[in-house]
Amino acid sequence: MKKWSELRKMLKLHEKWRKKFAVICCVLAVICFGTVFFVVYDMRRSYAISEEKVEELRKLSEMAEPIKTGEEQTDSKGEDLQAKAEQEKVENPYAEVFRKNSDMAAWLFIEGTKIDYPVMQTPEDENYYLHRDFYGNEDQAGCLILDTDSRLEGDMTTNQIIHGHNMRVGTMFGELDLYQDEEYCKDHSRIQLFTREMERNYEVIAVFYSQIYYTTDLVFKYYNFFEADTEEEFRYFYDNIKELSLFDTGVEAEFGDRFLTLSTCSYQVEDGRFVVVAKEVEPGDQFLQIRD
């Protein structure tokens, strides 16, 4: 009898702890679910706020009127060619955005996509805007960044490289990997870059996967190509991007052409990258000087 009594007590104690354990598990599950929900909600809210700020900048460009300034001048022997050239210039549609932050190097736009963002460049600290918004506030999405070795004005480099986060919500360069589809690439092959001086137009020439290699690796590193001073340097870049391209875009280039390279993270390998290279084609409008 005594043994049965002790056994019943043990069973009751076991049942008691089983119920407590079940309650604890339920509480922990609720806490975990709540934490995950809060983190996801907070991230999406943060991304939404980030997009709202960019949308405000986009609206500033929509408000701008692309007008030509100055009156028609008649030709004469003493014609001021520089003044005539100024007459052909128009107001930069992103002038107000440029005025808001001198770190802005350009505005990148691809019609029919979400890629419609300011491009920042800070030579003293290339990663400054990696996790900061246009205004310098903390933001996980960061901004699109023009590589410090790229030059858009003055003595331009042969290749401009723009880096951006591959955001799962599709913002920044979150849609860039859609270019791996040939039809999508054809439908969105035109890329526009608005600098302080002019509108530059590009057409996609190559789409490929790559990665960040060790410095000792003797392989083609697209992210190290900025200048082609010789035809040999040009051929090395051109032949490699064509060979790596997932498909033939039908666009060709020659020595003297300029390029725009868009680069984002990819996860096919460690430190993977997805890359879209475009060749500069016909120039767009020349812009008037932006005054404060």
Question: What confidence tens digit (pLDDT) does each residue in 94-138 have?
Answer: 999 999 999 999 999 999 999 999 999 999 999 999 999 999 999
* Prediction pTM value: 0.81
User: In this structure, is residue 4 part of a structural domain?
Assistant: no
User: In this structure, is residue 147 part of a structural domain?
Assistant: yes
Angle of CA points 84, 107, 191, to nearest 5° = 90
Query: Is 131 in the active site?
Result: no
CATH number at residue 180: 2.40.260.10
Identify the active-site residue in 26, 32, 185, 265: 265
Exposure pattern of 87-124 as b/e (b: 16+ CB <10 Å)? eebbbbbbbbbbeeeebbbbbbbbeebbbbbbbbbeee
User: In this structure, is residue 47 part of a structural domain?
Assistant: no
For residues 29 and 23, give the distance between their C-alpha atoms in angstroms, rounded to a whole number.
10
User: In this structure, is residue 219 part of a structural domain?
Assistant: yes
How many domains does one find in the chain? 1
Percentage of the chain surpassing pLDDT 90?
A: 65
* pLDDT digits 0-9 by tens, 24-79: 545 555 454 444 333 333 444 555 677 888 999 999 887 655 545 444 444 544 45
Residue 174 near residue 238, CB atoms below 8 Å? no
Query: Is 165 in the active site?
Result: yes
The residue written with tokens 């390998």 in the block is: 269
Identify the active-site residue in 143, 163, 165, 185: 165
User: In this structure, is residue 120 part of a structural domain?
Assistant: yes
User: In this structure, is residue 112 part of a structural domain?
Assistant: yes
* pLDDT digits 0-9 by tens, 222-264: 999 999 999 999 999 999 999 999 999 999 999 999 999 999 9
Residue 254 near residue 206, CB atoms below 8 Å? no
User: In this structure, is residue 242 part of a structural domain?
Assistant: yes
User: In this structure, is residue 165 part of a structural domain?
Assistant: yes
